[in-house]
Amino acid sequence: MMLSVMQSVLGVASGALVGFSLGLVGGGGSVLAVPLMVYVVGVREPHVAIGTSAMAVAANAAINLFNHSRGGTVIWSVALLFAAAGIVGAFAGSNLGKMIDGHRLLAMFALVMLVIAALMLKTRARSGIPDVKMDWSNFPAVAGLGLATGTLSGFFGIGGGFLIVPALMFATGMPIMNAVSSSLVAVTAFGLTTAASYAWSGLVAWDLAAVFIAGGIAGGLAGTAAARHLSARRGALNVVFATVIVAVALYMLVRNISLP
pLDDT tens readout for residues 232-241: 665 677 787 7
**Higher-confidence position of 55 and 161:** 55
- B/e letters for 57-82, b = 16+ CB within 10 Å, e = fewer, are bbbbbbbbbebbeeeebbbeebbbbb
Rounded CA-CA distance 2/207 in Å is 8
Domain ranges of the chain: 5-257
Q: How do residues 166-214 score in pLDDT, each as one tens digit?
A: 889 889 988 888 888 998 898 888 788 878 888 998 989 999 999 999 9
Those residues with Cβ within 8 angstroms of residue 146's Cβ, 6 or more apart along the chain or in another chain: 81, 82, 83, 84, 85, 86, 89, 167, 186
How much is the pTM?
Answer: 0.76
Length of the chain: 260
Q: pLDDT tens digits, residue range 52-82?
A: 888 888 888 898 898 889 888 899 999 999 9
Q: Is the pLDDT of residue 138 over 70?
A: yes
pLDDT for the residue 215: 92
Report how far apart, in Å, the C-alpha atoms of 80 and of each of 76, 111, 145 are.
Answer: 6, 28, 13
Q: What percent of the chain has pLDDT over 70?
A: 88
Residue 30, pLDDT > 80, answer no
